[in-house]
């Protein structure tokens, strides 16, 4: 049995990352078998781990393994609450990038990933049951090689003040500070400068050349990187050189130059050519309406009628209390109705998931 276990090369580990209780083994198994071109004969084993959040799936052949990976990457609706891990050594990987902020642009993340891999498919950004994106990006990439060795994407990434996590099948977890595989960053005793990337001092005491965490080049940091999306969007478009060579623009410029160089007529010539306007000598007649005194408005001597006092009795306090009670009862009835509708819709979704 031990030798048979060592010959298993194609396997994955599924981890439930949702906030609710993890699904049962038979539900996850049905989700696997619902994948296209995968049957029970393609699986060597399907085991639920003791923590009830992780499931190990072993495949007999490479074809079934690749088919499941493609289904997991493309069918984001069914697998949006799962992460996948595998030690497979294929060059094509399905990576998951998780940032705890929505202020990092897709272009910046892709610029960082292109240092280690080639992106084969556009990014997939899964959403929750409310249709809202929750910070996870999924990519299908082809790993790059240097000196015959496959490059390793760090499991943590820091772009300025924003920190993210990267995971993919076959990833070797290493410390983000010193790159050691024996511990993680929270257990590391080294001090790393985030300005130059060297160990032994902090960024406030750094006097070295800065190292960009986005493009990996020296001489600038993430905020001043010319490859960042924010800086590229602020670059002005230099269109002066292209428009100056246009023959239409050159012709207009020549005509304007000739007009400016041509002699202009003097002010005396301009006044001589203008026709004089005859002055109106006849005085304007005054109207009788303007000279006649205006009649005074007679003062209103009629006294204004007094407003009759309201003799109607005010509503009683008991009637006001009864109306308030009826309003509160109506609001409570509406809340109960809305809760019933919410529970019914949630139950329908759960039944649909169980059937699928």
Q: Which of 311 and 201 is assigned the larger pLDDT?
A: 201
pLDDT computed for residue 241 by the predictor: 41
Is it true that domain 6-88 has CATH number 3.40.50?
A: no
pLDDT computed for residue 171 by the predictor: 79
Residues of the chain with CATH 3.30.70.330: 89-170
Task: List the structure tokens of 214.
Answer: 């986005």
pLDDT computed for residue 249 by the predictor: 45
pLDDT computed for residue 295 by the predictor: 53
Q: Are strands 149-150 and 145-146 parallel, antiparallel or unpaired?
A: antiparallel
Residue 92: pLDDT band (50, 70, 90) is confident
Please tell me the total number of residues recorded for the chain in this structure: 356
pLDDT computed for residue 314 by the predictor: 55
Q: Closest by alpha carbon to 144, among 176, 119, 162?
A: 119
pLDDT computed for residue 4 by the predictor: 45
CB atoms within 10 A of CB 216: 14
Answer yes or no: is pLDDT of 94 > 70: yes
Answer yes or no: is pLDDT of 35 > 90: no
| Tens-place pLDDT, residues 104-121 | 999 999 999 999 999 988
Across the chain, mean pLDDT equals 77
Task: List the structure tokens of 9.
Answer: 């090369």
Answer yes or no: is pLDDT of 74 > 50: yes
Lowest pLDDT segment from 113-127, 286-300, 317-331: 286-300
**DSSP secondary structure letter of residue 222:** S
What would the mean pLDDT of 84-111 be, rounded to a whole number?
84
CA–CA dist 323, 326 (Å, integer): 5
H/E stretch holding 136:
strand 136-143
CA–CA dist 167, 154 (Å, integer): 9
Name the 3-class secondary structure at 323. helix
Taking each continuous run of H as one helix and of E as one strand, the counts in the chain are 10, 11
Task: List the structure tokens of 157.
Answer: 């990434």
What would the mean pLDDT of 98-107 be, rounded to a whole number?
94
| List of residues 6+ apart from 185 with CB closer than 8 A | 156, 175, 176, 177
Q: Closest by alpha carbon to 91, among 143, 51, 147?
A: 143
Name the 3-class secondary structure at 117. strand
pLDDT computed for residue 181 by the predictor: 79
Answer yes or no: is pLDDT of 18 > 90: no
> For the domain 89-170, what is the CATH code?
3.30.70.330
Answer yes or no: is pLDDT of 28 > 50: yes
pLDDT computed for residue 245 by the predictor: 47
pLDDT computed for residue 137 by the predictor: 95
Do the beta carbons of residue 157 and residue 131 sit within 8 Å? no
Do the beta carbons of residue 70 and residue 63 sit within 8 Å? no
Answer yes or no: is pLDDT of 32 > 70: yes
pLDDT computed for residue 48 by the predictor: 94
pLDDT computed for residue 8 by the predictor: 78
What would the mean pLDDT of 40-59 be, rounded to a whole number?
93
CB atoms within 10 A of CB 210: 19
Residue 259: pLDDT band (50, 70, 90) is low
What would the mean pLDDT of 78-102 be, rounded to a whole number?
81
Lowest pLDDT segment from 65-79, 187-201, 296-310, 325-339: 296-310
pLDDT computed for residue 242 by the predictor: 41
Q: Which of 102 and 234 is assigned the larger pLDDT?
A: 102
Lowest pLDDT segment from 96-105, 301-310, 314-323: 301-310
pLDDT computed for residue 228 by the predictor: 92
Q: Report residue 333: phi and psi, to 5°.
A: -65, -40
pLDDT computed for residue 87 by the predictor: 65
Answer yes or no: is pLDDT of 269 > 80: no
| Tens-place pLDDT, residues 225-249 | 999 999 988 876 554 444 344 454 4
Integer Rg of the chain from CA:
39
Q: Which of 75 and 4 is assigned the larger pLDDT?
A: 75
| Tens-place pLDDT, residues 181-198 | 788 888 888 888 878 888
């Amino acid at each position: 049995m031990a030798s048979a276990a060592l010959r298993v090369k194609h396997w994955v580990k599924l981890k439930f990352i949702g906030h609710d209780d993890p699904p049962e083994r038979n539900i996850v198994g049905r989700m696997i078998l619902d994948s296209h071109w995968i049957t029970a004969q393609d699986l060597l084993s399907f085991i639920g781990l003791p923590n009830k959040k992780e499931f190990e799936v072993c495949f007999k052949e490479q074809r079934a393994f690749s088919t499941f990976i493609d289904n997991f990457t493309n069918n984001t609706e069914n697998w949006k609450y799962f992460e996948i891990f595998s030690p497979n050594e294929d060059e094509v990987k399905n990576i998951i990038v998780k940032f705890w902020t929505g202020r990092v642009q897709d272009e910046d993340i892709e610029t960082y990933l292109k240092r280690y891999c080639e992106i084969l498919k556009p990014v997939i950004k899964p959403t929750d049951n409310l249709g809202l994106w929750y910070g996870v990006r999924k990519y299908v990439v082809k790993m790059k090689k240097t000196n015959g060795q496959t490059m390793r994407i760090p499991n943590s990434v820091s772009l300025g003040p924003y920190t993210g996590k990267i995971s993919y099948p076959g990833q070797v977890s290493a410390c983000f500070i010193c790159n050691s595989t024996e511990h993680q960053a929270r257990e590391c005793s080294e001090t790393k400068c985030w300005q130059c990337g060297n160990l032994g001092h902090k960024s406030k005491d750094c006097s070295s050349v800065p190292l960009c965490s986005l493009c990996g080049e020296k001489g600038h940091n993430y905020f001043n990187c010319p490859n960042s999306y924010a800086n590229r969007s602020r670059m002005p478009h230099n269109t002066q050189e292209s428009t100056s060579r246009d023959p239409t623009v050159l012709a207009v410029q020549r005509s304007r130059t000739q007009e400016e160089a041509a002699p202009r007529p003097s002010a005396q010539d301009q006044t001589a050519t203008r026709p004089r306007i005859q002055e109106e000598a006849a005085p304007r007649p005054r109207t009788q309406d303007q000279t006649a005194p205006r009649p005074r408005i007679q003062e209103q001597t009629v006294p204004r009628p007094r407003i009759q006092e309201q003799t109607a009795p005010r509503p009683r306090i008991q009637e006001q209390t009864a109306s308030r009670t009826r309003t509160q009862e109506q609001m409570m009835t509406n809340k109960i109705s809305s809760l019933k509708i919410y529970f019914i819709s949630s139950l329908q979704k759960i039944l649909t998931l169980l059937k699928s």
